[in-house]
Amino acid sequence: MNVYDFDNTIYNGDSTLDFYLFTLKRHPKAWLFLPRLLYTFLCYAVFKKMDKTAFKERMYRFLHLVNIEKDLPEFWEQKSKKIKQWYIDKKQPDDLVISASPFFLLSPICEHLGILQPIASLVDPKTGKYTGLNCHGAEKLRRFNALQGNPQNKKFYSDSYSDTPLALAAKEAYYVKGNKITRWETPNKR
């Protein structure tokens, strides 16, 4: 089994941001959340007054405007072309995506690609509330290790050194920047 981060790894961009921008075009009321989103971002990133999960829950408040059953298929119809060609060329049915993006967002594209269902953040698609922790950093490895049958992580690909726990657990790990793939080097070795 090969394991992949999603955003900026096999997907060219950030799928959550793309879905938010898609929502702004489709549901004009979503613009009303923009000032609150900017304030929340400042509280999280600049003033460090909230953790990542709280930030994302507040960010996802726009979801109550979305018709997931209708909007999500149309979103992926437009955005599936952002799956990187190098991944399309090497994908296998037992590939596993592990991402901090919401499960509800990634599940349809994984099904479309013909790969396993993702391990991702469990976010209510109507309220934006989390069930459990944000699937980020060490949480990704914890969830991977919780899979039944203890699968082998043969190769791991990511664009972020926050994924070092998964990279160290893999037989081979690769760092992805754009379409350039290089061997993983842990940050203290660079």
- What whole-number distance in Å separates Cα of residue 49 and Cα of residue 56? 13
- The pLDDT score that the predictor gives to residue 162 is 95
Query: Is 136 in contact with 120 (CB distance < 8 Å)?
Result: no
The pLDDT of residue 45 is above 80: yes
What confidence score (pLDDT) does residue 148 get? 72
Q: Which of 33-37, 68-72, 106-110 has the lowest mean pLDDT?
A: 33-37
Per-position DSSP letters for 29-41, written without gaps between them: GGGGGHHHHHHHH
Q: How far apart are CA 3 and CA 5, in angstroms?
A: 7
Looking at domain 2-13+84-189, which of 1.10.3720.10, 3.40.50.300, 3.40.630.30, 3.40.50.1000 is its CATH number?
3.40.50.1000
Give the ranges where 129-163 is alpha helix by DSSP (H).
138-145
Residue 82 in contact with residue 13, Cβ under 8 Å? yes
Distance CA(99)–CA(103), nearest Å, equals: 8
Distance CA 163, CA 113 (A): 23
Scan for tokens 């090497």, then name that residue: 90
- Specify the pLDDT at position 153: 81
Question: At 147, phi and psi to the nearest 5?
Answer: -60, 140
Residue of 112 and 188 predicted with greater confidence: 112
Domain boundaries, the chain: 2-13+84-189, 18-72
Helices in the chain by DSSP H: which ranges? 15-26, 34-41, 52-59, 68-79, 85-90, 103-113, 138-145, 164-169
Q: Does residue 188 surpass a pLDDT of 80?
A: no
User: Mean pLDDT, to the nearest integer, of 56-79?
Assistant: 95
What pTM was computed for the model?
Answer: 0.93
| Residue 66 clears pLDDT 50, i.e. is over it | yes
Question: What are the structure tokens assigned to 81, written together?
Answer: 């072309």
User: Using an 8 Å Cβ cutoff, are 133 and 139 in contact?
Assistant: yes
Whether the pLDDT of residue 190 is over 90: the answer is: no
Residues 6+ apart with CB under 8 A from 67: none
Residue 187 pLDDT exceeds 90: no
Rg for the chain (alpha carbons), in Å?
17
Tell me which residue has tokens 């490895």: 141
pLDDT band of 38, cuts 50, 70, 90: very high
pLDDT per residue as tens digits for the range 115-153: 999 999 999 999 999 998 999 999 999 999 998 777 788
